[in-house]
């Protein structure tokens, strides 16, 4: 077993966060950062390759990367709270202020990319605070209830009672339909205005329609529980847990995925299918996310794999900076105010672009972290967090920001 801990830092968490950032960047590039456009006149072989790249990438990471990010967000909350508690201090008020700062970062990011997740995390993060001192059974119970998607279950039961009801398109579609007006436009100002108004409404409505709000809070709580149970610290007990998690989640995913592929044939009623798909999708994504996380944690402790996977750690240590950086770069590459590459790049070309960006960001992160304790935006966030603190020593309580 390879030791993965030094300087009170759990490096597998950094690497996992790095994986989340890289995979999120991959999907965003394939989507042209929300500019859905298929270039014409591509040869048949490239069209087929594009479909293969798209399908395989979304199978691996769509809905899983953000879930991984949410899980680690809850873990970080525990680490910060626990570190302060050991010093006899209550971190909850400071965490609330940190969420306000995160909201500001999210708004800045949203100006470039309307699909920003930071603003949503910042708001939902406030709901974590009341759980900080509740016992594990209560937290686990609430997390499971949220994961079950109770709102969608109610909608499903109502749909079963009236399966012939006619429902319209999701409300978010109307807002997404307006995106081309400002994203493909050549004006940066119009893009920012559109992203911060129409775009944010579209994303919030889509998130609600797809059960993301309850799912995110559920993952926050599971992440906090993982921290309490020390599941990311190398030990015989944690290895047993992740091995069992890998087996159980793999079986669950296979069952759910088979159901997913047949749900349209089983249920004719659209009013039934819609909430059922929302429930099934969240469960399927969670099960595969656990497959990815558990497999990653177990491989990280193998000497040969550890050397490879640790390359993701610098990216994860600078997750806030890199998340916003990829939005700025991506919008400049694909949007009308920039190079407008959405017109010329299919999934294959966008995949290659994401690989290049990942390598560049990886080298940049490695260089930066070699000379600094935190990433550039992480440093700002850290200093702003403790701006009202009288004791400057509090600034060194945690590196997981």
DSSP code of 117?
S
Question: Rounded CA gap, 32 and 340, in Å?
Answer: 10
pLDDT digits (tens, 9 = 90+) for 312-323: 999 999 999 999
What was the pLDDT predicted at 6?
45
CB 242 within 8 A of CB 298: yes
DSSP string covering 223-278: HHHHHHTTTTS--HHHHHHHHHHHHHHHHHHHHHHHHHHHHHHH---HHHHHHHHH
CA dist 60 to 20, 24, 25, 99, 351, Å? 12, 11, 13, 30, 14
Q: How many CB atoms lie within 10 A of CB 114?
A: 28
- 3-class DSSP state of 210: coil
Provide the whole-model pTM. Answer: 0.91
Rounded Cα distance, 100 and 73, in Å: 15
Helix/strand/coil for 10: strand
Residues 38-90 pLDDT 10s: 888 899 999 999 999 999 999 999 999 999 999 999 999 999 999 999 988 99
Burial class (CB in 10 A: 0-12, 13-18, 19+), 151: middle
In the prediction, which pLDDT does 113 show? 96
**In which residue ranges of the chain is pLDDT below 70?**
1-9, 388-401
Assess contact for 125 and 102: CB atoms under 8 A: yes
CA separation for the pair 134, 267 (Å, rounded) = 41
What integer best gives the mean pLDDT of the chain? 91
48 C-beta neighbours (distance < 10 Å), count: 12
The pLDDT assigned to 117 comes to: 95
């Amino acid at each position: 077993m390879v030791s993965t801990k030094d300087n009170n830092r759990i490096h597998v968490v950094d690497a996992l966060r790095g994986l989340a950032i890289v995979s999120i960047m991959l999907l965003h590039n394939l989507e042209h950062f929300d500019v859905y456009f298929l270039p014409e006149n591509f040869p048949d072989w490239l069209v087929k390759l594009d479909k293969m790249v798209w399908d395989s990438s979304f199978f691996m990471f769509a809905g899983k990367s953000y879930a991984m990010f949410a899980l680690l967000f809850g873990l970080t909350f525990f680490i910060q709270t626990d570190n302060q508690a050991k010093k006899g201090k209550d971190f909850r008020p400071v965490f609330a202020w940190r969420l306000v700062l995160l909201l500001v970062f999210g708004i800045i990011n949203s100006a470039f990319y309307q699909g920003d997740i930071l603003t949503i995390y910042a708001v939902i993060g406030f709901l974590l605070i009341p759980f900080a001192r509740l016992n594990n059974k209560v937290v686990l119970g609430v997390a499971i209830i949220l994961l079950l998607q109770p709102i969608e279950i109610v909608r499903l039961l109502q749909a079963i009672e009236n399966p012939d009801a006619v429902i319209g398109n999701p409300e978010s579609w109307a807002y997404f339909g307006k995106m081309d007006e400002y994203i493909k436009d050549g004006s940066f100002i119009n893009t920012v205005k559109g992203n911060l108004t129409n775009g944010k409404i579209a994303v919030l409505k889509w998130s609600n329609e797809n059960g993301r709000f309850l799912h995110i809070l559920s993952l926050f709580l599971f992440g906090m529980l993982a921290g309490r149970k020390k599941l990311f610290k190398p030990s015989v007990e944690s290895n047993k847990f992740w091995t069992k998690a890998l087996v159980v989640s793999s079986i669950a995913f296979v069952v759910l995925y088979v159901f997913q592929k047949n749900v349209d044939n089983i249920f004719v009623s659209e009013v039934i299918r819609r909430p059922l798909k929302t429930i099934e999708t969240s469960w399927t994504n969670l099960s595969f996310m656990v497959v990815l996380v558990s497999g990653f944690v177990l491989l990280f402790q193998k000497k040969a794999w550890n050397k490879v996977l640790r390359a993701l750690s610098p990216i994860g240590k600078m997750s806030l900076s890199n998340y916003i950086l990829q939005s700025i770069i991506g919008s400049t590459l694909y949007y009308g105010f920039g190079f407008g590459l959405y017109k010329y790049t299919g999934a294959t070309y966008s995949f290659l672009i994401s690989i290049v960006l990942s390598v560049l960001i990886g080298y940049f992160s490695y260089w930066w972290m070699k000379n600094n304790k935190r990433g550039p935006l992480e440093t700002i966030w850290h200093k702003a967090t403790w701006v009202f603190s009288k004791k400057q020593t509090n600034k060194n309580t945690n590196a997981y920001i």
